[in-house]
Chain A
Amino acid sequence: MILEVDKVSKKIRGKVILSDINLRMESGHIYGFVGRNGCGKTMLFRAVSGLMKIDKGRVILDNKVLGIDMTVLPNAGIVLENAGLYQEFTGFKNLKILSKLKSKISDNDIKKAIERVGLNPEDKRSYRKYSLGMKQRIVIAQSIMEKPDVLFLDEPTNALDAEGVEEIRKVIIEEKERGAIVLIASHNKEDIEILADKVYHMDNGKIISVEEH
C-alpha cells in the first residue's frame, strides 16, 4: 500500500497552514514528524486523513484520490491531541459506539485492543473519571481496534508513565509489523529516534528536511 501526498496546501482564514507538502509512504514503515508547536504536524494529519479539506494538491492511497474516490481514508486510525471520547460512557462502551459505524469488528476485538494498551476492558468507570494516562491509552485503543491500514498518532506517549511509554511503543511497532503505514508526530525525541524509519522536519507548514534512520 502506498500513500502519496502530492503538493498539498491549505490556508485557514488567510493563514498558510500547509504549504506544498509532498510525501510518499509505504506499508510497514513508521514516519516521524517533528517541529515546534504550530508548525502544521497535526493539521497535516487532519488533511491527509480526510478530516479537513485541502485547498490544493492531492492525497492518493493506492491510486484512489481523497475527495474524489473517497471522503476519508477508508481504513484509518487516528489519535489527536485534545480530542476525547464520550464523557459519560466507559472505555469499552465508547469503543463499541465507534465500532458500530463500520461494524467490522466484534466485542472481543475491542477488548483485545483495550488490553493491548494496558487497560481493563471490564472497567466500569466512565471516561470522565479516567486519569490522563488512561485517556491517552483508550484513544490509542480506539485507533488500533479495527486494524487500520494507515495510523496517525499525534503525541502518542503524552501523559504516560515510563512503563506506559514502553507499552505504547511496543504497540506501535506491532502495527508497523502488521503492515500499517504509521505516522507519528511527537515532541519526544526518544519516540522518534526509536520508532521512526524516516523523519520529516516541519516549520511554518512546510517540510524543511528529511532524515532517514
Chain B
Amino acid sequence: MYILLCLIIAFIWSGIKIFNFSGVEEDIYLSDLVLKLAFDNADFFVGAVLDMAIDLIPVFLFQMVFGMYIYRHFCVTGIYFFIRCDNRKSWFLKETFKLLGFSHLYQTAILIFSMIILIFISDFKIDMCGIVLVLYYVIIYSMWLFVTCLIINCIALKLGSVFAYVSVIGVQILFLGMFNIYEKYVSMDGSQLLINDIWLKLNPLSGLVFKWHSSLFENVNNKINIFHIIYDFNETVAILCVLAIFFVVLGMELVKRQDIIDENREIGGI
C-alpha cells in the first residue's frame, strides 16, 4: 500500500510540474527538469515564497503518509506488537531502512515519471550536467524526507501525532516564510547576496534550492549558483547525513526506553 501511495502521488505531482514545460519549443534538458523540480522559482519576495510553499506539497504529502510509519506500532496495537519484539533497537533500525527506501523510491519516481512525460511532449535530452544534478536531487530530497519523517515519528512517540505533524510541518513553513526576510538583502538585479551567505545556509530549506548551491563541476556550477557563493551540494548532503544518523540513534534510544502503556488510543494513521 505504501509503495502504491508513493507512486500515485509521484505520478500526479510529476504531471503538475511538467505542465510548466508544455508549449516550450526548445530542447529540454535533464538539468532543466531537475532544476524545475528543485525550486527553480525560488526567490525572496512574498509571491515567490508562496509558490515555494506550493512546491513543498509533495514533501508534505510524503510526510503525512510516512510521519507515522514507525510510531503507528506504538499506538493502540502497541501492546500486541511489542510483547513479541525482544529487540526494539534492531526492529527500529530495520524500519528506518525501509523508510529510507520509501524516500528514495518516492523521489526517484517523481523524476522518472517527469522524464517519461517530457519524452512524450517535447525534445527531451540528457546532459552531463543533468546526470550530476539527478544524483544530488535524489540524495538530498530523499534524505530531507527521511530526516523529517524520522523527526515526526520521534516527536509523536513522546507527544502524540498531532503535535508531531503540526510542529514539523509548521517549522518548515516558518523557515519558508523566513526567506522573505532576505528580500532586502539581494541586489537589484538579483545576482548578489548582500549579507554573509551563512545566513542563507542557516535556513535548512535552502538545502532544497539547487540554484543557490555551487558545484565543483564547472558546467554544473555555471547552470546554478545565481549568487556566486560557495554553497556546495556536498555540504548539504553531509549535514543531512549527520542529521539522519543523529535521529536514527535518538530514535533507537527512545523506542528502547518507551514504556508500552496503553493509554495511547491513537490508531496510528494509515
Chain A residues with a Cβ under 8 A of chain B: 46, 49-53, 70-74, 76-78, 80-87, 98, 101-102, 139, 142-143, 146
Contacts and interface: CB of A to CB of B under 8 A. Distances in A.
A72 B86 contact: yes
Specify which of B84, B86, B87, B259 lies most central, judged by the most chain A CB atoms within 10 Å of its CB: B84
Contacts of A82: 76, 262-263, 265
Q: Which 10 A-B pairs have the closest CB atoms?
A: A51-B260, A101-B84, A83-B79, A52-B259, A83-B262, A84-B76, A71-B86, A78-B83, A80-B79, A87-B267
Given A70-B86, A78-B79, 19 more contacts: A46-B260, A46-B261, A50-B83, A51-B82, A51-B261, A52-B260, A71-B88, A72-B83, A73-B83, A76-B83, A81-B262, A84-B76, A84-B267, A85-B80, A98-B80, A98-B81, A101-B81, A101-B85, A102-B84
A50 B86 CA distance: 9
Given A51-B259, A52-B259, A86 B83 contact: no
A84 B76 CA distance: 6
B260 to A, nearest CB: 4
B77 interface: yes
Interface residues of B, number: 22
B86 A80 contact: no
Contacts of A51: 79, 82-83, 259-261
B204 interface: no
B88 to A, nearest CB: 7
Contact of A83 (B77, B84, B88): B77
Contact of B83 (A49, A70, A81, A85): A49
A64 B259 CA distance: 21
9 contacts: A51-B261, A71-B87, A72-B82, A72-B85, A83-B262, A84-B77, A85-B80, A98-B84, A143-B80
Interface of B: 76-88, 257, 259-263, 265, 267-268
Nearest to A142: B80
A74 to B, nearest CB: 7
Nearest to B87: A71
A2 to B, nearest CB: 20
A50 B262 CA distance: 14
A85 B77 contact: yes
Contacts of B79: 46, 51, 78, 80, 83
Contacts of B81: 98, 101
B76 A74 contact: no
A81 B259 CA distance: 16
Contacts of B88: 71
A160 to B, nearest CB: 19
A45 to B, nearest CB: 10
A138 B77 CA distance: 13
A47 to B, nearest CB: 9
A70 B77 CA distance: 22
Contacts of A146: 84
Contacts of A83: 76-80, 262
A83 B82 CA distance: 12
Contacts of A78: 79-80, 83
A74 B86 contact: yes
A114 B87 CA distance: 27
A74 B78 CA distance: 17
Contacts of A101: 81, 84-85
B261 A52 contact: yes
A87 B88 CA distance: 23
A42 B259 CA distance: 14
Specify which of B78, B83, B88 lies most central, judged by the most chain A CB atoms within 10 Å of its CB: B83
B105 to A, nearest CB: 21
A50 B81 CA distance: 13
A52 B82 CA distance: 11
Contacts of A53: 257, 259
